[in-house]
């Protein structure tokens, strides 16, 4: 199982950014997927989850209405579209495969998003 995040960058407050998570080694359509972030020197914060079929999506209160999680079954890739970015969104963003009931059993290495003017 492999998950590889990309798309992290330095962006100005209020701008948008899309993260990608390319996956392999498991049947993409059978598992949910998560985004989890970690601000510099801080702990883990769950961000969003998408169901195996992509129909059900849930978000943390901190990002609901600004971030959108999606998946492309033809590319085995997970996305996180982030809008109206704030300095407090600065973090390493990890994608994780759902091992059942919300646990992350396999993780990517993360991609850094810095929101700064």
Q: Which spans of this chain sit near other proteins (rule: CB under 8 A)?
A: 34, 36, 43-46, 49, 58, 60-61, 94, 99-105, 107-110
* In the complex, minimum distance from the CB of residue 105 to other proteins, in angstroms, rounded to a whole number: 5
* In the complex, minimum distance from the CB of residue 56 to other proteins, in angstroms, rounded to a whole number: 10
In the complex with other proteins, the residue whose CB is nearer, 26 or 46, is 46
In the complex with other proteins, the residue whose CB is nearer, 16 or 109, is 109
* Per-residue burial over 72-97, b = 16 or more CB atoms within 10 Å of its CB, e = otherwise: eeeebbbbbebeebeeebbbbbbbbb
In the complex with other proteins, the residue whose CB is nearer, 17 or 36, is 36
In the complex with other proteins, the residue whose CB is nearer, 45 or 76, is 45
CB-count burial class (<10 Å; 0-12, 13-18, 19+) for 113: buried
Rounded Cα gap, residues 71 and 17, in angstroms: 16
65 Cβ contact list (under 8 Å, min separation 6): 59
* In the complex, minimum distance from the CB of residue 78 to other proteins, in angstroms, rounded to a whole number: 15
* In the complex, minimum distance from the CB of residue 16 to other proteins, in angstroms, rounded to a whole number: 23
């Amino acid at each position: 199982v492999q998950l590889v995040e990309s798309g992290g960058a330095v962006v100005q407050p209020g701008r948008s950014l899309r993260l990608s998570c390319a996956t392999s080694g498991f049947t993409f359509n059978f598992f949910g997927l998560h985004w989890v972030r970690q601000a510099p020197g801080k702990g883990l914060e769950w961000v969003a989850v998408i169901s195996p079929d992509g129909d059900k999506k849930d978000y943390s209160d901190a990002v609901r209405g600004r971030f959108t999680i999606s998946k492309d079954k033809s590319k085995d890739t997970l996305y996180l579209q982030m809008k109206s970015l704030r300095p407090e969104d600065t973090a390493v963003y990890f994608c994780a495969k759902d091992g059942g009931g919300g646990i992350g059993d396999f993780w990517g290495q993360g991609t850094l998003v810095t929101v700064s003017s």
